Amino acid sequence: MANLLYIFFTMVLVQNYVLVKFLGICPFLGVSKKLDSAVGMSLAVIFVMVLATAVTWPLYALVLEPNGLGYLQTIVFIIVIAVLVQFIEIVLHKYMVGLYNSLGVYLPLITTNCCVLGVTILNFTNGYNYVESLFCAAGSGAGFMLAMVLFSGVRKRVDAGNPPECFKGLPITLVAAAITSLSFMGFGGIMSSIFGIAA
C-alpha cells in the first residue's frame, strides 16, 4: 500500500506531468484562463488517463508483448485512445447528459493530448504492474489538475499586471509557469523520506 501511495504522490508532486515533465503543455497554457474550465478539463483528463491505462496495460502485456509485437505499441495505443475518447463521448452523450455538458467540450481535445499517450507508455518504461499503473495514471491526472488549478490562480494575477510590451500575453505566462515550476522543484526528495523508499 505504501508503495502505491508513493507512486501516486510522486506523480502528483515530484514528477508533475505538466510542470516537471512537460507533458500536456497546450491545455495547460490554453485552458487555464478560467478556474471552472481548468477543473473540467482536468477531470476529463483524469478520467481518460485511468481508463486508457486500464485498457492499454492488459492489451500490451497480454497480447502485443507475448506475440513479439511490442514495436506496434505507439500505433496501437494511439488508436485505442482515440477510439476510447470517441466511445466515452457517445456513452456520456446518451446516458449522462449532465456530465456530458460539463466534460463534453474537452473530450475531443484529449485524443491529441500528450499526457494520455505519455502515461500509457511511461507505465511500461517504469516497469509498473497493473495496479501500480492505475495509481500512476490517477496520480498523473491529479498532478495535471493541481498544476491547472494553481496556474489558473497565478494567471489571474499575471493578466492583471503590466509587463513590458514585448512580454504581454504568452511570454509572461511562460515566465510565470517557470516560477510555478520552480516551486515544484522543492518537492524533490520529500517523497522518499516520507515513505522510506529509495527513489
Partner 1 sequence: MAKSKLSIVTNGLIKENPVLRLVLGTCPTLAVSTAVSNALGMGAAATFVLICSNIVISALRKVIPDKVHLPCYITIIAGFVTLVQMIVQAYAPALNSALGVYLPLIVVNCIILGRAEMFACKNTVVDSALDGLGMGIGFTLSLTAMATLREIIGNGSWLGITIIPESVDRLTIMTSAPGGFFCFGFLMAMVVLYETKTNNKIERKIGCAVKEGEDE
Would you give the DSSP letter of residue 82?
Answer: H
Q: What nine digits make up the cell of 144?
A: 495535471
Q: Which stretch binds partner 1 (CB under 8 A): 44-52, 66-74, 95-103, 148-156?
A: 66-74
Q: Which stretch binds partner 1 (CB under 8 A): 43-51, 143-151, 153-161, 179-187?
A: 179-187
Label residues 153-184 b or e (16+ Cβ within 10 Å = b): eebeebeeeeeeeeeeeeebbeebbeebbeeb
In single-letter form, the type of residue at position 198 comes to: A
User: 145, 28 in Cβ contact below 8 A?
Assistant: no
Rounded Cα distance between 73 and 68, Å, is 11
136 binds partner 1 (CB under 8 A): no
CB of 199 to partner 1, least distance (A): 16
170 binds partner 1 (CB under 8 A): yes
158 binds partner 1 (CB under 8 A): no
User: 18, 12 in Cβ contact below 8 A?
Assistant: no
Q: Which is nearer to partner 1, 63 or 185 (CB)?
A: 185
21 binds partner 1 (CB under 8 A): yes
CB of 48 to partner 1, least distance (A): 13
Q: Which stretch binds partner 1 (CB under 8 A): 57-65, 103-111, 132-140, 143-151?
A: 103-111
Would you give the DSSP letter of residue 59?
Answer: I
In single-letter form, the type of residue at position 147 comes to: A
Would you give the DSSP letter of residue 198?
Answer: -
Looking at residues 104 to 133 of the shown chain, list those that interact with partner 1 (rule: CB under 8 A): 105-106, 108-109, 111-114, 117-118, 121-122, 125
Q: Which is nearer to partner 1, 5 or 93 (CB)?
A: 93
In single-letter form, the type of residue at position 134 comes to: L
172 binds partner 1 (CB under 8 A): yes
30 binds partner 1 (CB under 8 A): yes
Q: What nine digits make up the cell of 191?
A: 517523497
Q: What nine digits make up the cell of 99?
A: 456530465
Where does this chain bind partner 1 (CB under 8 A)?
A: 19-27, 29-31, 33-34, 37, 71-75, 78-79, 82, 105-106, 108-109, 111-114, 117-118, 121-122, 125, 164-175, 177-179, 181-182, 184-185
